[in-house]
Chain A
Amino acid sequence: MANETTVAEAAPAKAHGNGHENGHGHHPTGWRRWLFSTNHKDIGTMYIVLSLVAALVGGAMSFLIRLELAEPGIQYNLFWLDNEAAYLQFYNVLVTGHGFIMVFFVVMPAMIGGFGNWFVPLLIGAPDMAFPRMNNISFWLLAASLVLLLIAAFTQGGPGTGWTVYPPLSNAEFHPGAAVDLGILSLHLAGASSVLGAVNFITTIFNMRAPGLVIHRMPLFVWAILVTAFLLLLAIPVLAGALTMLLTDRNFGTAFFDAARGGDPVLWQQLFWFFGHPEVYIIIIPAFGIISQVISTFSKKPIFGYLGMAYAMVFIGFVGFIVWAHHLYTSGLDVDTRAYFVSATLIIAVPTGIKIFSWLATMWGGSIDFRTPMLFACGFIFLFVMGGVTGVALANAGMDIAFHDTYFVVAHFHYVMAIAAVFAMFAGFYYWIGKMSGRQYPRVLARVHFWMFFIGVNVVFFPQHFLGMAGMPRRIPDYPDAYAGWNYVSSVGSYLTTASTLLFFYIIWRTLRSGEKVAANQWGEGATTLEWTVDSPAPFHTHEDLPDMREKQPAE
C-alpha cells in the first residue's frame, strides 16, 4: 500500500521529540510493525485489508451463484466438475461460504475492526485502545479463522450447510468428513476474536474518553460501536456453546440435536438465532453510526434528536435479543409464542423509524453537499427503508408461513442488512480514506462507482421479491421455467455489481497511488468531530495531549 510510507514517515517526526530511543516513541518497522502491532491504526488498517481480500472471495462466490441461476437448469459453470452431485454440493458450499465470508470476514472486520479501531480512539480523544495487545490477537484470530474456513471449503466437498448450519444437514450423517468441523472451529476462532474485541471497545469507550466528553456527548459512531460491542459480548458466547454441542454431536456421541436419542434439532435453531438475530444488528448498528456522522457532516448540521438517535440504537440492541424466534415460525412453535414474537418484532419498527426520520430531519433545512459519502448515505436510507418495509411483512407469523425460505426473504435481508451495510462501508470508506491515507479519492470515478453499484444491487435484489412471492425457494440451484425471466434480470444486475466492485478496487489503487493530498479537515465546517483535528494522514500516535472537551459544544 502506498500510504504506508506516508504514515511511517509522518509519525516519527512528531514522537521522536523526547529524544528517547527505546520508549514507545521508537516505532516498529518492517514485518514486526504489523505482526506484533499494538497500534490501533495499524490494526485497523489490517482489518480493512482483510475485509477487502475477503470481499473478493465472497463477492466472487455470489457472482458464481448468479451465474448458476441465470437460466433454468444446471449450468455446470465450473467445467472441471463433471460430477453433478459434487457440483450441487459445491453450489451449497458457495451459498454457505458467501454468507459466512460476507458476515464475519467482510462487514464485521471493515466496520468494527477497521473503522471502529481507527476512529473510536480518534473520536473520543484517546491515544489508543484500552488493551492494544489484545486488539492484535483479535485481528490475527480472525485471519486464522478465515484461513480455516477456506481450508474447510476445499476439504471433502466443503460445508454445504448454509450459514445457519442447521442439523440434521450439518450432522455427521449428512456431512461426514472434516469440512463442517473445520467450519465450526473457524467460527470458534472468529467468536473469540469478536468477544475480545468487544471487551476492548467497551472498556475503551467507558474508560478513555477525553476530559469533558461525557457519554451523552459522544459522537453517534462511538455509541454505535458501544452498542454493537455489547451485542457481540452477549450473543457470540451463545453461538460458541451451540457450536460446541454440534461438534460433540458430530464427533463424541452426544445427542443434543439427535431426535432419535431425545435431542431436538429445533434446539439448534433456538440457540443459533438467539445469537443470529443480534448478529444481524451487529452488522447494521455500526452502519447507523457511520451514516449519522456522514449525514451530519454533509448537511452541515448537528444530528437531529441526538439523544433519541443514541437510545434508539440501545433499544434496537436490547430488542434484538428478544425477537429471535421470528426465524422459527415454521418450526412448530406454539401459537401464543408466535403472537409474542410477532409483536416484539414489529416494535423494532419504532426505533428504526426514529433513526430514519431523524436522518431526514437532519438533512431538512441543511446545506446539503452531495459528495460521494453522502450519496452512499442516501442510498443506505433508501435500501434500509425498502428492506424494513418487507421486514414488517415478514414479521407476521401467518405471512411468513408462505414467505419462509423463499427468495422474498433473500431480497429482504440483502436490502435491510447486507447491502445496506455495504453502502455504509462505502460511505465510511470515502468519508475517512482521506484521514487514513492522507489522500483524496478520485471524485468522478467515485460517483460512477456509486451509481453503478446502486443500480446494480437494485437490479439484483428487487426482482427477487417477485420470485419469492411466486414461491421460488432459497438455496436451490435449479428452478422451473416460470422463474426464468426475473432470475435473468437479477443475474444481469450482478454483472453490473461485479463491474462496480472492480471499479472500487481501481479507485482504491488510484487513491493511494495518485490521490491529491488532503488537509486535516477536508470536509469543512460540517465536520466537527475530533478526528478532523489531527493531521491527514493521522500520525502514528494521536491525542497524546488529551483534547479538553469541557468547554466545547457537544460533538454530535
Chain B
Amino acid sequence: MASEQTKKHPYHMVEPSPWPAIGTLAAFIMAIGGVWYMKGGTIYLFATGLLILFWVSYRWWRDVVAESRNGVDHTNVVRLGLRMGMVLFIASEVMFFFAFFWAYFHSSMPIFSLVAPESWPPKGVVPLDAWSVPFLNTVILLSSGATVTFAHHALLQGNAKKTARWLLLTVLLGLTFTGFQAYEYVHATFTFTGGIYSSTFYLATGFHGFHVIVGTIFLFVCWRRAKAEHFTPEAHVGFEAAAWYWHFVDVVWLFLFVWVYWWGGSGAVAG
C-alpha cells in the first residue's frame, strides 16, 4: 500500500472496486427475474441474480476483511466510522419493521381502520399459543443474546478459543430458533393467503426470520474469523457489528412476541 508512507490523514482511501457495479447488476437481474417469476415464469433468472449477489457479497467483504488486517487502512478513526455506519444501518432496519408493526396495529384495531375485522384475531382464525413454541423461541433467542455477550467478554480477554466456542453456541441457538419457526409455519392452521391476520403475521415474523438467518450467517463468519484469530481485544469491528445486529433481531422478536403472539393471540379486541 502506497499510502503507508504518504498518507497524512487517518482515513481509508479505498481502491477502485468492481463489486459495487457487479452487485448492482445482480440486483437488477433479481428485479427482472423476480417479476418474471411472479408473472408465472421460471425462478432461474432470479436465482442467478441471487447467486451473483452472494458471490459479490463474499468477495466484497473478503476485501474488507483483508483491509482490516493489513495494519494500515483500519485506523481508530476508520473503525469508529464503521461502527457508526452499522448503528445507522440498524436504525434504518428498525424503521423497516416499524412499517410492518404499523400495518399490524392499523389492521387489528378498529380505531385506526374503518374496515378492520370486528375482533382480533378475526373470526375463524386459531392463533398460535404464545406460551408454547413462541415462548420457547423467546428463551432461545434471549439466551443467544447472552452467549454472544460471553463471546465478547472472552474476546476482550484475548481468549480466541473461548470466543469461538461461545460464538458457535450462538450460531447453533440461532439455527434452533429458525428451525422452530419453520415448524410453527408448517403447523399453523391459518394459511399465508388467509386474509389480514395471516398477512400481518407472516410478513412481520417472516421478515424477522429472514433477519435471524442473515444474523446467523454474520455470526457464523465471525466464528470462523475468531478461530482464525482475526480479532484483537482492541479491534474487532466485525464482531461488534454482528453482535449489535443480533441484539437488534432479538429486540424485534420481543416486540413480536409481546404484541403479535401474546396480545394479538389473546382475543384482546373482542367481537
Name A's B-contacting residues (CB within 8 A): 18, 20, 22-26, 28, 32-33, 35-38, 126-128, 130-134, 136-137, 140-141, 143-144, 147-148, 151, 177-178, 181-182, 185-186, 188-189, 192, 195, 198-200, 202-204, 206-208, 233-242, 244-245, 248-256, 258-259, 261-264, 266-267, 270-271, 274, 332, 541, 543-546
In the complex, which of the residues A126, A199, A271, A545 contacts B11, with contact meaning CB atoms closer than 8 Å?
Answer: A126
Say yes or no: is B24 at the interface (Cβ < 8 Å to chain A): yes
In the complex, which of the residues A140, A182, A208, A245 contacts B21, with contact meaning CB atoms closer than 8 Å?
Answer: A140
* Leading 10 A-B pairs by shortest Cβ distance: A23-B2, A241-B99, A262-B196, A253-B193, A20-B2, A137-B20, A254-B199, A140-B24, A237-B95, A237-B96
B1-45, CB under 8 A of A: which get 1 and which 0?
111011111010111111111011101100110110011000000
The interface residues of chain A lying within 8 Å CB-to-CB of B25 are 144
Given contacts A239-B99, A262-B116, 17 further A-B contacts (CB under 8 A): A35-B18, A36-B16, A38-B13, A128-B11, A131-B14, A133-B19, A137-B19, A241-B102, A253-B193, A254-B192, A261-B196, A263-B107, A263-B115, A263-B199, A264-B107, A270-B106, A544-B7
The interface residues of chain B lying within 8 Å CB-to-CB of A233 are 88, 91-92, 95
Interface residues of B in 97-119 (CB under 8 A from A): 97-100, 102-103, 106-107, 113-117
> Given contacts A23-B2, A262-B116, are A237 and B88 in contact (CB under 8 A)?
no
Interface Cβ pair total, 8 Å cutoff: 234
B35 touches A181 (CB 8 A): yes
Say yes or no: is B126 at the interface (Cβ < 8 Å to chain A): no
The interface residues of chain A lying within 8 Å CB-to-CB of B31 are 144, 148, 182, 185-186, 188-189
B95 touches A234 (CB 8 A): yes
> Given contacts A137-B23, A264-B115, are A270 and B8 in contact (CB under 8 A)?
no
- Cα-based distance from A226 to B79 in the complex (angstroms): 20
A128 touches B17 (CB 8 A): no
Q: What are 8 A-B pairs at a CB distance below 8 A?
A: A20-B5, A38-B17, A140-B24, A181-B38, A200-B85, A261-B196, A262-B115, A262-B116
Say yes or no: is B158 at the interface (Cβ < 8 Å to chain A): no
In the complex, which of the residues B13, B89, B95 contacts A128, with contact meaning CB atoms closer than 8 Å?
Answer: B13
The interface residues of chain A lying within 8 Å CB-to-CB of B196 are 255-256, 258, 261-263
The interface residues of chain A lying within 8 Å CB-to-CB of B198 are 254-255
- Cα-based distance from A236 to B8 in the complex (angstroms): 37
The interface residues of chain A lying within 8 Å CB-to-CB of B188 are none
Name B's A-contacting residues (CB within 8 A): 1-3, 5-9, 11, 13-21, 23-25, 27-28, 31-32, 34-35, 38-39, 60, 77, 80-81, 84-85, 88-89, 91-100, 102-103, 106-107, 113-117, 122, 192-193, 195-200, 202-203
A266 touches B21 (CB 8 A): no
B28 touches A148 (CB 8 A): yes
Which residue on B lies nearest to A258, using beta carbons? Answer: B196
Which residue on A lies nearest to B89, using beta carbons? Answer: A199
B24 touches A254 (CB 8 A): no
* Least distance between A117 CB and chain B CB atoms (Å): 14
